[in-house]
Amino acid sequence: MVRFVNVNNLSRWAADAGLEPLLRDLTTAIEHQFRRWESFDKTPRVGSHSEHGVIELMPTSDGITYGFKCVNGHPINSTRGLQTVTAFGALSDVDTGYPILIAEMTLLTALRTAATSAMATRLLAPPGATTIALVGSGAQSEFQALAVRATLGINTVRVFDIDPAAMSKFERNASALGFDVTLCRDAEEAITGAQVITTCTADKRNATIIADDMLKRARAASGGAGLHINAMGGDAPGKTELDIEIVKRSRVFVEYPEQTFIEGEIQSLPRDWPITELWQVLTGEADGRDSANEITIFDSVGFAIEDFAALTFLNDRLDGTDYFEHIDLVAEPADPKDLFALVAAKTPATSR
């Protein structure tokens, strides 16, 4: 029997654990898997692109457990009353090949993406950061703010979204969580005074959410202080958020270069452009922030090892709980070579 975690149970699991403790633990779990980076099979995700979006398959294995996520990205969906991103995923036992878990991953993706941003922010943010700017206040935004508060204690959020309803929704949710929220007129006002910026917009084009001169003015207002940017909304070919001039004069940190050069902010840069792999900062093989004043960018696209970490973290925490049910997913005939018996048993004798 395979464990199945539906949306209701995933929501209960997360709420009962407490979102901030859960995000803190998930951040640690993702860090743990990033430190074992070399144990994993790695491949850029396989995307099926269409006019309005993409459906992607994200597999990996550590030789003991295999995991995959199937996820979509359809920025147009909000105009149809649908979500931009939905996902589900699974784990299998490498030894037998049998599946062991199937889970909803729309919520789990929001949690793991926020925890991954928190991991990068903890590694790279300038010391003493107190304020985060969120540009884009859609489905991912509250999770992003919570994970950074859970790991770094940052409680002040400046937010801008082109959709006033999304900003009001964020203000309502974040104020109830005790955040000090400022709604801003534009992205420049949001980023001014923030030491951490997370861009989480959805647009199927090479958008310029933060322009170079906008960032220069914002930094001048803070005396040229250091900055960390989590650029997480640009995650597909032809879908970026930052002015490329900002990327060129910053230190860029990535998940898996082979995927990020296809999907990330660096997609228009040559393949030998200097980047640093986040896992190497965690293991001490590469430097993180060099100076208090530099700009660091986490060019986040979302990589399979983060989903593997989230699924294994979830699966470990299911033992002894009622947050899952067993489903009859794998055909198991008494005689493994007599698969036909399962159909024969349901077939009326007259039609055999």
Ligand X SMILES: NC(=O)c1ccc[n+]([C@@H]2O[C@H](COP(=O)([O-])OP(=O)(O)OC[C@H]3O[C@@H](n4cnc5c(N)ncnc54)[C@H](O)[C@@H]3O)[C@@H](O)[C@H]2O)c1
- Which parts of this chain interact with ligand X (CB under 6 A)? 73, 78, 84-85, 109, 113, 135-140, 160-163, 166, 187, 200-203, 207, 209, 232-233, 235, 300-302
Q: Tell the smallest beta-carbon distance from residue 223 to ligand X (Å).
A: 26
Which residue number, 170 or 324, has a Cβ lying nearer to ligand X? 170
Q: Tell the smallest beta-carbon distance from residue 120 to ligand X (Å).
A: 11
Which residue number, 60 or 113, has a Cβ lying nearer to ligand X? 113
Which residue number, 203 or 245, has a Cβ lying nearer to ligand X? 203
Which residue number, 45 or 289, has a Cβ lying nearer to ligand X? 45
Give CB contacts under 8 A, 24+ apart, made by 39-48.
39/63, 40/305, 40/308, 42/256, 42/258, 42/304, 42/305, 43/258, 43/304, 44/256, 44/258, 44/259, 44/262, 44/263, 45/259, 45/303, 45/304, 47/236, 47/237
Which residue number, 99 or 206, has a Cβ lying nearer to ligand X? 206
From the candidates 161, 235, 243, 299, which is the catalytic residue?
235
Decide if 235 is catalytic. yes
Q: How far apart are CA 275 and CA 299, in angstroms?
A: 10
Q: Tell the smallest beta-carbon distance from residue 109 to ligand X (Å).
A: 6
Q: How far apart are CA 307 and CA 304, in angstroms?
A: 5
* Contacting residues for 267 by C-beta, under 8 A, at least 6 apart: 237, 240, 260, 261
* Contacting residues for 347 by C-beta, under 8 A, at least 6 apart: none
* Residue 265 DSSP class: G
Q: Tell the smallest beta-carbon distance from residue 162 to ligand X (Å).
A: 4
Q: How far apart are CA 294 and CA 211, in angstroms?
A: 17
Q: Tell the smallest beta-carbon distance from residue 29 to ligand X (Å).
A: 16
Q: By Cβ distance, which residue is nearest to ligand X? A: 138
Catalytic residues: 235
